[in-house]
Amino acid sequence: MSLKLPRSAARRIACAVVTAEVGRLRERDRPNLPTDSWPEAMPIGDDGLGLDSLEQLGALGALAETFGLDDRLLAPEPPRTVGDWVDWIMSSHEDGHGELTVMTSGSTGRPRPCVHAVADLLAEARFLATQLDGRRRVVSLVPGHHLYGIVWTALLPVMLDVPVVARLIGGPLELAPGDLVVAVPDQWHAMRRLVRSFPEDVVGCSSAGPLDDVLAEELLASGLSHLLDIYGSSETGGIAIRRLPADAYDLLPRWRLLPEGDDDWRLGDAGGNSHDLPDHVEVIGERRLRPLGRRDGAVQVGGRNIWPSHVADTLRQIDGVTDVAVRQHANGRLKAFIVPDGSLEAADLAARIDRVCDDRLSPLERPRSIRFGNALPRNMMGKLEDWV
């Protein structure tokens, strides 16, 4: 069985990578580009995608970082079409030993590269395909340059031999029997309210954050045939899978659990390598686990890792603030409890906090609810407790 990156998957990933890079250069989440998967004949300049010279250079750099490319493999003339990009990618992946690099955020939001062998990602997609008989389309609501999107919306459709279509929450989903819907928990929350009833034989998949069991029950009650929840990380790829309403995850074939000290565990692979689990876990038998909580204190907001401790440290440095606590609100966004030092009027302090949030925090890091008080809320044991 081929270990080479399929050309159609390479094109889809490349389109997502370039879209993200152009969005970064234009400082907007959704740059004014055509659909997410462009035909190979599409020009990349003024008569096609409309990328200027600097954006074309940025696209080359982003593709090189993602696909492990360098300038020695470029043609004598600079790329003029999407197909030229794909040719460049495939020239480095012909031998079946290629790698893909995805970026994940560290505790301060600084991107960090995670490198994966294409062969491992293909094996994961092949196994997942065995769990998804009867799918006619993959309906993607997630970007194709993150690991979840790479496996589920670029590689898996090749294994299933089905087309992939992109949709956005806020527009009609146009679901049909036989669809596999790939989304993150926040999108499933939105679909619970927007989709009154799902067509028959529609399967859902969720990853990139915890999926609430109550939400899953409501989606299944609305007609979703079944709902899969993937546990994994950018560092490891998919680790385990559960079919709701099960509360424990079954390890994917690649992995086994290795004991690590007292009541702790690591992941082992067939090559004898071991990897950190992103969470503390409860182990059930040899190949089942239940996540108990992140090791690094991160939470998922909008499908991305956010560190409340980093946000609290940022707010704590504001003149006029004595102490800060930051937690995730029930609505999925962050909330902050701030103790002023009394040196500023409330309106002046609030304005100062707004300026710092604008300058130093990303939109997903910014607390959407701020409460002021004389002391952080603590229980009788002195431990920080939640607030309304």
Domain containing residue 221: CATH number: 3.40.50.12780
State yes or no: pLDDT of 106 exceeds 60: no
Query: Do residue 170 and residue 318 come from a single domain?
Result: no
> Is 339 in the same domain as 280?
no
The tally of domains found in the chain comes to 3
Which of 46, 70, 93 is a domain's end point?
93
272 in any annotated domain:
yes
255 and 137 in one domain? yes
- Asked if residue 387 is part of any domain, the answer here is no
Q: Classify residue 378: in a domain, yes or no.
A: no
Instruction: Please give the model's pTM, rounded to 2 decimal places.
Output: 0.80
Q: Which of 277, 297, 317 is the last residue of a domain?
A: 297
What CATH number should be reported for the domain holding residue 368? 3.30.300.30
Q: Does the structure show a pLDDT above 90 at 218?
A: yes
Span 51-92, pLDDT tens digits: 999 999 999 999 999 999 988 878 888 999 999 999 999 998
pLDDT tens for residues 229-281? Answer: 999 988 899 999 999 988 899 999 999 999 887 778 899 988 888 888 888 88
3-state SS record for the chain: CCCCCCHHHHHHHHHHHHHHHHHHHHCCCCCCCCCCCCCCCCECCCCCCCCCHHHHHHHHHHHHHHHCCCHHHCCCCCCCEHHHHHHHHHHCCCCCCCEEEEEEECCCCCEEEEEEEHHHHHHHHHHHHHCCCCCCEEEECCCCCCHHHHHHHHHHHHHHCCCEEECCECECCCCCCCEEEEECHHHHHHHHHHCCCCCCCCEEEECCCCCCHHHHHHHHHCCCCEEEEEEEECCCEEEEEEECCCCCEEECCCCEEEECCCCCEEEECCCCCEEECCEEEEEECCCEEEEEEECCCCEEECCEEECHHHHHHHHHCCCCEEEEEEEECCCCCEEEEEEECCCCCHHHHHHHHHHHHHHHCCCCCCCCEEEECCCCCECCCCCECCCC
Both 229 and 324 in one domain: the answer is no
Domain of 17 in residue numbering reads as 1-93
Confirm whether 262 is domain-assigned.
Answer: yes
Residue 46 shares a structural domain with residue 140: no
Domain boundary, last residue among 266, 297, 328: 297
Same structural domain for residues 285 and 341?
Answer: no
